[in-house]
Amino acid sequence: MDMSWDSWGMLACLCTVLWHLPAVPALNRTGDPGPGPSIQKTYDLTRYLEHQLRSLAGTYLNYLGPPFNEPDFNPPRLGADTLPRATVNLEVWRSLNDKLRLTQNYEAYSHLLCYLRGLNRQAATAELRHSLAHFCTSLQGLLGSIAGVMATLGYPLPQPLPGTEPTWTPGPAHSDFLQKMDDFWLLKELQTWLWRSAKDFNRLKKKMQPPAAAVTLHLEAHGF
């Protein structure tokens, strides 16, 4: 089953990349490509990470054991309040400007990445550690990609406030069971964020896409 999802995910990712391949040089020929390509790459990366996380979460939740690997497991969000929430009111989400949208993504993944690195400390099996490390690297890449888009659009990167650095050192009352719950929520929130990011970047992509007439005009001017 995992292999099947992996295969479909890879295929979807490949198809997406191929679909956009012809568009990229055409846009490049117009001179300044703008933020379009980098937004597209960021979008593709979120889809790839989404697929990658599906495999990782399955492995990790099985490692935690029942009830965390049960399909209908829905624990209270006890210690996971510090995690950045991806869910947002639809109207609010629509009304977000580009800068805020990108900033929220950047901040969310910055925090999630930091939390995710904490998982690696507990996992004992080499295979799980390797998967986690690989995913962290990919997530770091997504963070860099978002930063690139923001830089292209001229938005400054959000600076973390002193003392607000997310930490993964549970308090003395934080039991391992609650820690496992937090791990579950971390993976779940990460997945929700990847879904949301795909929508965010899809929206940005459409917004940044120049009008079709203008593109045609540019093409004619360049002898196409």
Partner 1 sequence: MLLRDCPVISKRKPESMALFAVFQTTFLLTLLSLRTHQSEVLAEHLPLTPEALKVSVNSAQQCLHLQWTVHNLPYNQEFKMIFQIQISRTETSNVIWMGNYSTTMKRNETVHWSWESELPLECAAHFVRIRSVVDDARFPEWNFWSSWSSWQEVNVQDSTGQDTLFVFPKDKLVEEGSNITICYISGNIQNDISCYLEGEQIHGEQLDPHVSTFKLENVPFIRKGGTNIYCEEKQRKAISNGTVLFVSKVLEEPKDFSCETRDFKTLICTWDPGANTALDWSKQPSQSYTLFESYSGKKKHCEEKNRCNWQITQDSQEIYNFTLITENYLRKRSVNLLFNLTHRVHPMSPFSVQFENISATSAVMTWKVHSLGDYFTLLCQVELHGEGKMIQHNVSVKANGKYLLNELEPNTEYVAQVHCADDNHFWKWSEWSGRDFTTPEAAPSEAPDVWRTMKSGSHNVTLFWKPLSKFHANGKILFYNVAVENLDKPSRLEHRSIPAPANSTELTLDGCSYQIRVTASNSAGASPAAVIVVSAAPGNKEIEEEIIEGTEDGFSMSWKPQSGDVMGYVVEWCDRPQDPLCDFQWKKLGPNTTSTVISSDAFRPGVQYNFRIYELSTKRIAHLLERKTGYTRELAPSDNPHVVTNNLTSHSFTLSWKNYSTKSQPAFIRGYHVYLKSKEEQCQPGAEKAVLPDDTVCCQYKIDNPEQKTFTVENLKPESFYEFLVTPHTSFSEGPSGTFTKVRTPDEYPYMLVHVIVPVVICVVLLVCGCLLKSQWMKDKCYPDIPDPYKSSVLSLIKSKENPHRTIMSISDCIPDAIEVVNKQEGSKIQSLGTRKSLTEPELTKLSYLYLLPTEKNYSGPGPCICFENYTYNQAASDCASCGHAPVSPEAPPSQWGLLTSSENLLKALEKNYMNSLGEIPAGETTLNYVSQLASPMSGDKDSLSTNALVPPPCSEYKMQMAVPLCLASPPPTENSDLSSITLLGPSEHYR
126 near partner 1 (CB under 8 A) = no
- Write down the least CB distance from residue 184 to partner 1, Å: 10
73 near partner 1 (CB under 8 A) = yes
141 near partner 1 (CB under 8 A) = no
The structure tokens listed for 6 are 């992996």
Q: Site for partner 1 (CB under 8 A): which residue of 48, 52, 53, 63? A: 63
Q: Site for partner 1 (CB under 8 A): which residue of 26, 113, 178, 215? A: 178
Tell me the HSE value of 47 on the side-chain side, using a 13 A CA sphere. 19
Backbone Cα Rg of the chain: 20
76 near partner 1 (CB under 8 A) = yes
59 near partner 1 (CB under 8 A) = no
Binding segment for partner 1 (CB under 8 A), chosen from 24-32, 47-55, 106-114, 119-127, is 119-127
188 near partner 1 (CB under 8 A) = no
Q: Site for partner 1 (CB under 8 A): which residue of 175, 207, 214, 219? A: 175
d(CA 204, CA 102): 9
- Write down the least CB distance from residue 65 to partner 1, Å: 5
Q: Which is nearer to partner 1, 90 or 124 (CB)?
A: 124
Q: Site for partner 1 (CB under 8 A): which residue of 74, 87, 97, 137? A: 74
Residues 7-46, interacting with partner 1 (CB under 8 A): none
Sorted by sequence, the CB contacts under 8 Å of residue 67 that are 6+ apart come out as 73, 75
What is the binding site for partner 1 (CB under 8 A)? 63-68, 70, 73-76, 78, 121-124, 173, 175-181
